[in-house]
Amino acid sequence: MCAVRNEVQKRMFWVLGNGACSFWHNHWCGDKPIADMVGGHHHFVKVSNYWNNRQWNHHLLYDTLPTHVVDMIVGVPLESSTKDTVIWKDSNSGQFSISSVWNSIRCTAPRSLLFKKIWNPFLTPTMSVFLWRLLLNKIPLDVYLHKLGISLASKCQCCKGVESIENLFLTGVQSSMVWRYFYTIFTTSPTNTTSIRQLLLYWILSCSKSHTMHIRTILPMLILWFIWGERNDAKHRATNFSSDRIIAKVKSHIRTTHCCGKWKHSHWTGDTLLATQMNLLPPPSWNGATNCCLEEATGWVV
């Protein structure tokens, strides 16, 4: 608060009561404090010092200030039986709050489609926080620890190279197998991007209803989360990094959220055949041969 004191004071307006606030430095008249109107250096003086018998002391005011400022001041009503009251200009109620200060002084960026999408009912809060940190490059990978001056031997659990976002989540041997699997069953052309943001946008925009929540929006987020979990198990529990285990966990999560009643037909627009093979939607009418081929290709139905 001390660092932004001047900005905060600009948003405070004093309604005069007993005149205990600063004549020069508090904003109680016009559109800014008196000191800002006339300039110069001024010590603290109460507003009531410029009163005489609960009325404005015109002689003292004209001796101190320019005429146009005095004319403004004498138009301010006096109610000396009450205390001075502060009104917070950035609040509809006039009441001060930390949130209103923050909203007033913070620098806002345009709303991000990705940051909006990661907070959804198909992901747990822990998953959403992880994705938020991942998009901000705030997860503790070896490459970032090196930048902080922490020296350690780096080994990506996915490909045995230097651990980085690109290697771990996108181009590593095991992670690439995961992405290829889901590209295949969703009949989507692979993308060569090495950016997490671009990858998520690619999947979001691959469906016809990118403005709504869709399986193609949720799926890459689940993949990223379970790759991270597999990395942590391999690093801290000495297990093998397994693409098959990641795929199984993604499927399991989708089935679990289905059991909770979260998946609707609209979430699978364009992919309803695949959803039916997962027993997530009622079966439409289609050729039995197509059904068998998809079952064998995807492995969703056991």
Give DSSP secondary structure letters for 39-78.
-S-----BGGGGBSSSSB-HHHHHHHS-HHHHHHHTTS--
Q: Are 190 and 180 spatial neighbours (Cβ–Cβ below 8 Å)? A: yes
Distance in angstroms (rounded) separating the CA atoms of residues 286 and 284: 6
Q: Does residue 228 or residue 94 have the better pLDDT?
A: 228
Distance in angstroms (rounded) separating the CA atoms of residues 205 and 198: 10
Q: Are 246 and 227 spatial neighbours (Cβ–Cβ below 8 Å)? A: yes
pLDDT of amino acid 12: 83
pLDDT at 286 over 60: no
Q: Are 262 and 121 spatial neighbours (Cβ–Cβ below 8 Å)? A: yes
Within the chain, how many helices (H) and strands (E) appear?
A: 15, 2
Record the pTM: 0.65
Neighbouring-strand partners of residue 88: 12
Q: Which residue is it, tokens 């109620």?
A: 93
Give ∠ CA 217-223-228 in degrees, rounded to 5: 135
pLDDT at 179 over 90: yes
Of 33-47, 88-102, 116-130, the one with minimum mean pLDDT is 88-102
- Average pLDDT over the chain reads 82
pLDDT bracket for residue 272 (50, 70, 90): confident
Residue spans of the domains in the chain: they are 2-105, 113-298
